[in-house]
Structure 1
């Protein structure tokens, strides 16, 4: 309850910042209406649109990337930290960051690492933030904290 109150005050009071510890970040792409929907465990329904989850990043207590999963046609392809740390350029090639630091910095803004992003919605009861890639509403990101 105390954490929710602090987060709510952070949103209501401009100029305040609240660090949040992200457990998981999902990225998804919008499914066009004429395409059939795949398995329900890969689909997110958000604001009357369907999004297909493409990646799932799991973070540990200090915000370091611990595991990543990619959705491929044959299923989920998973990499743990000890596996992907041995692969040269793995993070860069897959547009991943080794650490994730996140702060709510205003009524509709969050700061992820060094990027300030306007988020679409925040559900503090479910501990979820939804945001889109800059000027692209076909790619949805979900932060679970």
Structure 2
């Protein structure tokens, strides 16, 4: 009886977490209402607020970081894996991770590596998931699946 119950619990737990393949992650910063919206750069409007894209991370099929783009006043500055892998402490200095795993836990929660965060909206028509960085409601992230 105990073995059957344990087997059922293992099957249920394995079925709950759904790994998702992510192509891109956009990290944005909220523009306060008293600041002008920049004329250049990528802008996202979400729930009545305006956000400007700070970074764009692109991942391969295994979740490895392939490239990252940073928004600067002149435009986006891009670094490929072969470039940033040669730079000491590049990932740590820019709060990036070399490998990222995303899993949906349920309709409201997902796991990003070891952090569990709630996501705001799952846009199934455009294959996007919106969520706020942990403990920071001014940084909106968008996962493109």
Normalised to the residue count of structure 1, the TM-score between the two structures is: 0.86
1:60-106 deviations in Å (ceiling 9; x for gaps): 11110000000012211100000000000000000000011111001
Rounded Cα–Cα distance in structure 2 between residues aligned with 1:124 and 1:100: 21
Structure-1 residue corresponding to 2:130: 130
For the 8 Å contact 1:22–1:100, the answer to whether it is kept is: no
Q: What count of residue pairs does the alignment treat as equivalent? A: 131
Q: What residue number does 1:80 align with?
A: 80
Structure 2 unaligned residues grouped into runs of 5+: 1-14
Alpha-carbon displacement from aligned partner over 1:38-57 (angstroms, at most 9, x marks no partner): 13651100001000100000
Q: Which has the higher contact order (CA 8 A, sep 6+)?
A: 1
| TM-aligned CA deviation for residue 134 of structure 1 | 2.3
Q: Structure 1: any 5+ residue segments left out of the alignment?
A: 1-14
Pair member with larger Rg:
2
- Would the alpha carbon gap of residues 16 and 99 (structure 1) be closer, same or farther in structure 2, given more than 3 Å must change? same
Greater CA drift, 125-134 or 94-103: 125-134
The CA deviation at 1:35 is 1.3
Q: CA deviation at 1:136?
A: 2.1
Contact 2:41 2:71 in 1 (8 A): no
1:1-145 superposed matches below 5 A = 16-39=16-39, 41-145=41-145
Runs of 4+ in 1 over 4 A off after TM superposition: none
- CA distance, structure 1, for counterparts of residue 138 and residue 111 of structure 2: 21
